[in-house]
Homo-oligomer: A and B are copies of this chain.
Amino acid sequence: MDVVVDGAARMGAVVGAAKIVVSGAGIDERLLAPLYGLGFQVVPVGRGEPLTAQALRHELADAVAYLHGGEEHVSEEALELAYGLKVIAFLGIGYETFIDVAAARRRGIIVTNTPERTPDAVAEFTIGQIINAGRRIPRHLGTVYPHWTDAGELPDELVSKKIGIVGLGQIGTRIATILSRGFGCRVSYYNRTRREDQERALGLRFRQLPELAEWSDVLVVMVGGNAETAGMIDHRILGRVRPGTILVNTARACVVDPEALRDALAAGLLGMAVFDGYYQDSSVAKDLLNDFGDRMYVTGHIASHTKQSMERMTRQAVASVVNLLNGRTDANIVVR
C-alpha cells in the first residue's frame, strides 16, 4: 500500500462523516481502506446502469470527493449542486470522454486520472478480439461439429494478415509487439509522430492513415478519445479499406464516425467491427446493432478491467483523493 495515510486527527475540516462517492462495479472495496481509515463515509453508486445526471447530482450534493470508476457522464447538470466537491479522481486515462472539464474547472473541482498503468489488460483483450473476429469463434461455441456451409466461409490465419495499428502509444506498441514478435504478423502503424525506435525494434512500417486503411486486413484503433480524435476514422478513411476488412476499436467509440461505420458495413467494406465501449448518444450507432449484429462484436468497456489494472488504478485514485483532501498536491492532476 503506497498511499500515505495521515492520522485522522490531522484531517481537520474534511474528517468525520464527509462523504466520498465511488462509482463502478469493479472496485475492490479492500483498496478503499485508507478512506475508511480516515473516517470518511464511502458511498458506492451506479453498479448497474450508469447513473443519470439527476441521480448523480443528488449523490454529489454532499460529497467532498468522487472516485469515478463507472460509465456515467459527469455533466454540468450533475455538478450543479456539488458545492463541497473538491476532487474527481477518474479511474483510467481518458477522462475527457466522461467529465465535462469546463464545468469542473468553473467550480474549482480538481480532476485527476491514473496514468501509471500497464498496457497488458487492453492489449490482451484486443488480441483476443482480433482472433474472435477473424475466426468467428463465438459463433461456434456450443457446437460439437464444424458448421461450415462451404469452403468460402473458412477464415484466414492471423499470421497471413496485415495489421494496421492507429495510435502507437503504450497500448498500441504492446499490441504491435505481441502481433509481430509472437504471431509473426506484418504490422504497420500510423501515429501523429513517427516512432522510428519502434519501427526498428519491432519491424513496423509507418503509413499515413488513408494508406494504412487501404493496406490493412485488420485495422486496430488505439488512440486516446478527445476532441482531436473524435471522428478520426471517417468516410475518407473507411472508404479506402478493402472488402472484408476487420475493424477493431478498443479505444473510445467516438473515434470512429458512426455514419461512416454504417456505410462501410453496408457496403461490405468492413467484414467485422469490434468495439469495447459503445456510442451512448448516436441513433445511427444503435441501429447498427440491429442491422449488422452478426458482424459486430460489442462489449461494454471491459478491456481495461482486470484485477491487476483495476487494483493499480484504484490505488492511484485513492492516493490522489487522500493527497488533495489533505491539502497536498498530487502528481496526477489533469484539470484544476
Contact = CB atoms under 8 A, between A and B. Distances in A.
Interface of A: 24-29, 47, 49-50, 71, 118, 120-121, 124-125, 127-129, 131-132, 135, 137-138, 140-152, 154-160, 177-179, 181-183, 277-278, 280, 289, 293, 297-302, 305-310
Given A25-B149, A142-B293, A144-B277, 19 more contacts: A27-B151, A29-B151, A120-B157, A129-B137, A131-B131, A137-B299, A141-B299, A143-B299, A143-B300, A144-B280, A144-B298, A144-B300, A146-B301, A146-B302, A151-B310, A157-B309, A160-B308, A181-B181, A182-B183
A293 to B, nearest CB: 8
- Taking the full assembly, how many copies of this chain does it contain? 2
Contacts of A155: 305-307
B124 A183 contact: yes
Contacts of A157: 118, 120-121, 124, 306-309
A145 B71 contact: yes
A159 B120 contact: yes
Contact of A151 (B28, B135, B278, B298): B28
Contacts of A129: 137
Given A143-B300, A145-B300, A300-B147, A156 B124 contact: no
A55 to B, nearest CB: 15
B128 A137 contact: yes
Between A27, A145, A155, the greatest number of chain B beta carbons within 10 A of the residue's beta carbon is seen for: A145
B298 A159 contact: no
A102 B13 CA distance: 86
